């Protein structure tokens, strides 16, 4: 397959597909940035600009989502390299959950906050794999393509991420007698 011409590839159909991907790109970016909505929005803006500028590099017939996730990930790597990673409260910019019942809302909010905090503490490599596979639903192969790593690396990073989350969220292990089972993907 060949790449499209920059003019054709960045046309209205391409742009519509990119716009349709924005919620997923933002969700992935929030995972990479530790949950900062502002940083995630900046990252997605950079990635979308790069995607439009380099639309001719996208191979027609391949998965646009994998290509866009890779651009977001590469933009994040560039950002981390260009500045010292600042320590920030990963929960500061998360939107609050809205619920009809006070108690379930508080309980669900506390559980969600615990998962967000635990996820934010994962190494970036594990967090990226976890977001792509468990949140975005990419296959191991597509996640590997998006991150530019072998599929075995995706599998090992995902296993380590799941184990670390289980340990941080009360030591629950899949299949542990009497423990909570945490299913992530």
- Tell me how far apart the alpha carbons of residues 92 and 113 are, in angstroms, rounded to a whole number: 11
- Please say whether the structural domain 121-168 has been given the CATH code 1.10.10.10: yes
How many C-beta atoms lie closer than 10 Å to residue 31's C-beta? 24
> Domain boundaries in the chain?
6-82, 121-168
The tens place of each residue's pLDDT in the chain, 185 residues long, gives 344 444 456 688 888 999 999 999 999 999 888 878 888 999 999 999 999 999 989 888 889 999 999 999 999 888 888 765 444 444 444 444 444 444 555 455 557 778 888 888 899 899 999 989 988 888 999 999 989 999 999 999 999 999 998 888 875 444 443 334 444 54
Tell the burial category of 161 from Cβ atoms under 10 Å away from its Cβ (0-12, 13-18, 19+). Answer: buried
> Is the overall model pTM greater than 0.75, yes or no?
no
- Please say whether the structural domain 6-82 has been given the CATH code 1.10.1740: yes
């Amino acid at each position: 397959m060949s790449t499209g011409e920059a003019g054709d590839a960045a046309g209205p159909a391409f742009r519509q597909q990119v716009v349709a991907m924005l919620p997923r790109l933002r969700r992935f970016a929030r995972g990479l940035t530790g949950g900062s909505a502002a940083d995630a929005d900046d990252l997605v803006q950079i990635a979308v600009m790069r995607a439009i500028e380099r639309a001719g590099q996208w191979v027609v017939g391949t998965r646009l989502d994998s290509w866009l996730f890779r651009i977001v990930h590469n933009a994040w790597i560039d950002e981390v390299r260009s500045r010292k990673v600042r320590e920030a409260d990963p929960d500061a910019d998360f939107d609050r959950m809205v619920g009809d019942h006070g108690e379930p809302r508080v309980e669900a909010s506390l559980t969600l906050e615990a998962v967000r905090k635990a996820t934010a503490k994962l190494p970036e490599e594990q967090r990226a794999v976890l977001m792509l596979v468990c949140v975005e639903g990419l296959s191991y192969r597509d996640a590997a393509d998006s991150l530019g790593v072998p599929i075995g690396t995706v599998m090992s990073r995902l296993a380590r991420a799941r184990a670390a989350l289980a340990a941080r969220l009360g030591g629950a292990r899949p299949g542990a007698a009497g423990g909570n089972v945490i299913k992530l993907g």
